[in-house]
């Protein structure tokens, strides 16, 4: 057994384990599994580091494949999907997964330019990268019959599905409890005018005295007006009698 063959197998398993860890860690962050016990910045740094480590492990895997003399891969065959003559579909899935990992991993460094929404959309590609790597490992890998590797594949699949369901349920709960906007719409039967608004508005403590004073002045003015009318009427009657 050659050193390159051992390196191919080891780096491939390591790349899949790191990719799985990155996806699982990202789902745990988005599902709020950690709560507020750990700072989000530290969790994000770990997520980013695992993703970069998965890319580096895959690069080692590709270099070992090209260096190995058994199948004699070329660089174009391990970097361009569909050019491999050995197991074309599994190898193509592996190549696509690699480039998807590269895009997702380096999206951390352009997040401030592409925006949060675009960055989240790119991160959803991690599901495709993981699925492609899983199929690639099962169909093209020589260790699929190994109980440890088979258990890792099954365990990763179950954990990712479970965390995805938890995240989906958590987002539904957040959306249902989010307070909606409440607006007071005037009744079409009773339009709100300035006078109506003023009448409906409760008086402030400082306005009570002024309202009472204004009412007293209005009553006094009305009383004086009435007295003036009576006096005028008396003068008219006295003139008529004279």
Is the confidence at residue 189, as pLDDT, over 50? no
Structure tokens at 131: 């699925």
Distance CA 12, CA 78 (A): 13
* Tens-digit pLDDT profile for residues 97-112: 999 999 999 999 998 8
Is the confidence at residue 37, as pLDDT, over 50? yes
Instruction: Supply the pLDDT for residue 181.
Output: 45
Burial class (CB in 10 A: 0-12, 13-18, 19+), 151: exposed
DSSP letter, residue 107: G
Instruction: Supply the pLDDT for residue 69.
Output: 86
pTM for the model: 0.69
Dihedral, CA of residue 85, residue 86, residue 90 and residue 91, to nearest 10: -70
Instruction: Supply the pLDDT for residue 186.
Output: 40
* Tens-digit pLDDT profile for residues 135-187: 999 999 888 889 999 999 999 999 999 999 988 887 787 666 665 544 444 43
* Tens-digit pLDDT profile for residues 49-80: 999 999 999 999 999 999 998 888 999 999 99
Instruction: Supply the pLDDT for residue 204.
Output: 53
Distance CA 54, CA 56 (A): 5
């Amino acid at each position: 057994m050659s050193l390159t063959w051992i390196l191919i197998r080891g780096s491939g398993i390591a790349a899949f384990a790191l990719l799985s860890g990155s996806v699982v860690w990202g789902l745990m962050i988005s599902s709020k599994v950690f709560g507020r016990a750990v700072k989000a910045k530290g969790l994000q740094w770990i997520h980013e580091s695992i993703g970069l480590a998965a890319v580096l492990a895959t690069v080692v895997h590709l270099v070992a494949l090209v260096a190995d003399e058994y199948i004699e891969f070329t660089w174009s065959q391990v970097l361009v999907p569909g050019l491999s003559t050995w197991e074309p579909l599994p190898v193509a899935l592996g190549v696509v997964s690699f480039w998807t990992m590269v895009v997702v991993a380096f999206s951390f460094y352009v997040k401030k330019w592409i925006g949060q929404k675009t960055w989240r959309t790119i991160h959803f590609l991690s599901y495709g990268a993981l699925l492609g790597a899983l199929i690639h490992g099962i169909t093209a890998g020589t260790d699929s019959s190994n109980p440890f590797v088979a258990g890792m594949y099954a365990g990763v699949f179950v954990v990712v599905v479970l965390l995805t369901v938890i995240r989906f349920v958590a987002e539904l709960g957040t959306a249902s409890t989010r307070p909606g906007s409440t607006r007071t719409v005037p009744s079409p039967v009773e339009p709100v005018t300035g006078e109506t608004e003023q009448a409906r508005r409760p008086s402030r403590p400082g306005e009570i005295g002024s309202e009472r004073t204004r009412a007293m002045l209005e009553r006094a003015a009305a009383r004086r007006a009435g007295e003036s009318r009576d006096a005028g009427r008396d003068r008219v009657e006295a003139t008529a009698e004279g």
